[in-house]
Amino acid sequence: MGFSNLREFLQCLEREGELKRIPIQVSPELEITEITDRVVRAKGPALLFEKVEGSSIPVVTNLFGSEKRMALALGSRSLEQVSQRIKELLEVKMPRGLVARILHVLPKLKEISSFVPKLVKNAPCQEVVLDKADLGILPVLKCWPGDAGRFITLPLVITKDPETGSQNMGMYRMQVFDERTTGMHWHRHKGGALHMAKAAKRAEKMEVAVALGGSPATIYSATAPLPEGIDELAFAGFLQGKPVEVVKAKTLDLLVPAEAEIILEGHVDPNEPLRTEGPFGDHTGFYSPTEPYPVFHIETMTMRKEPIYPATIVGPPPKEDYFMGYATERIFLPLIQLLLPEVVDVHMPVEGVFHNLVFVAIRKQYPGHAYKVMHSLWGQGQMMFAKVIVVVDEDVDVRDPKEAWWVALNNMDPQRDVLITRGPADALDHSSPLPTFGSKMGIDGTRKWPEEGHSRPWPERIRMSEDVKRKVDELWKSLGL
């Protein structure tokens, strides 16, 4: 069973030796980033900064900065256990054909909806109500020297589709402009931006609520690439094994996580001129440039009596976001395998910062199979942003990038095995010639068959025989090595 709120999670981390309290006063401008960066690189614990300059509110960082903490956040001891729950949810005898397969499994996915959020009347996130919002009381971080200012980096941004009434929750950074306005950095492919586009057609302002904190499963779910129609809060309930409690916002017709630390209530006006946002030291390891984005106007703030401000640090990898991305990789592998049963494993190494490099191991069944998998993945949700996809055979450990590259580079002939195509690009990809549109590369690193035009003999990989390995295992201690 998972955690109901951030405090329960912190208590667990402290028991597990995974939380370090920092009693010395530090600055939210650059200092917390430098401390956190060093701790992440040393594979250290979550950090609770108890005295932050300029605010009475403590800051917690690196909550998810290890595979162990990421699994604990989702109420498990390993991410493989979480993945297994998804597999069990999808384990049904599949009919043939893609459309039939999808239609057959939809009722199983709807089981997630049994964890529909639970509406409550009184909530910890509304213990204190500030009718006049003031972001100045929050210890918002400036992370890197070239940042345009302070940014809220772990917000759960809640919007509603003006046509269907369904809510969406995403995570989009927010540059603080003044005590009552921020930028809203949602890309055109994201749910919040799609809701704003619909509101613009109706010439309506759009209500927006931002939750800071909540259960760790809720925080993670805001980043999850869920299939259309699966509610993020319901998915969080599924992950933590119990429904997320929600409460109606004080001034908006939106439901917000009742166990959040802080809630910002306001609106975005689609007809208002966009405002320059950035630069910001992003997860790519480079500064994202200044660009125009919508403005979020905050009218009301609510919070717990003694709130904790959660933040994450992104920048040159590795950072905490890698472990959140790794959790997504493990958890959503069964969904990829639902559509592509030939996929054995998938891995996005830290150097690829999610969208730049994807290794895929497959059970190759026919000539050109690797290309079928590449095109299929580029057609799946956020996988459309993958810049380079490398496909190898099933016996390759793609979670070991050294092995994956070694095999792929030995197996590929550049002229024959490299595919260049075009498609949507991540908004943070500074190398694409046009914003959000660029080229992609697929590399077929599988063993080549005669039917693929390779008539030469294909060599076997060098492997020691199992009986010799067992014998040396038995001798090892006596060898004095």
E-strand stretches of 16-85: 19-22, 46-49, 59-61
Burial (0-12, 13-18, 19+ Cβ within 10 Å), 28:
buried
What's the token pair of residue 362? 């497959």
Rounded-to-integer distance, Cα 171 and Cα 325, Å: 13
State whether residue 86 is helix, strand or coil: helix
Rounded-to-integer distance, Cα 135 and Cα 126, Å: 16
Residue with structure tokens 């909530």? Answer: 123
Q: 156 phi and psi, to 5 degrees?
A: -100, 105
160 beta partners: 167
Rounded-to-integer distance, Cα 188 and Cα 185, Å: 10
> Residues 6 or more apart from 473 whose CB is under 8 A from it?
none
Q: Which of 147, 231, 282, 345 is catalytic?
A: 282
Cβ proximity of 398 and 360 under 8 Å? yes
Peptide bond just before 318 cis, omega within 30 deg: yes
Q: For the chain, what's the residue count?
A: 481
E-strand stretches of 240-326: 245-248, 255-257, 262-268, 275-277, 280-281, 287-288, 291-293, 295-303, 309-310
Q: 300 phi and psi, to 5 degrees?
A: -140, 145
Residue with structure tokens 């009693």? Answer: 23
**In degrees to the nearest 10, what's the CA dihedral of 29, 304, 248, 295?**
-20
**282 catalytically annotated:** yes
CA distances from 53 to 13, 29, 407 (A): 25, 9, 51
**Closest to 124 measured CA to CA, from 13, 17, 219, 213:** 213
What's the token pair of residue 142? 């400036």
Which residues are part of the catalytic machinery?
282
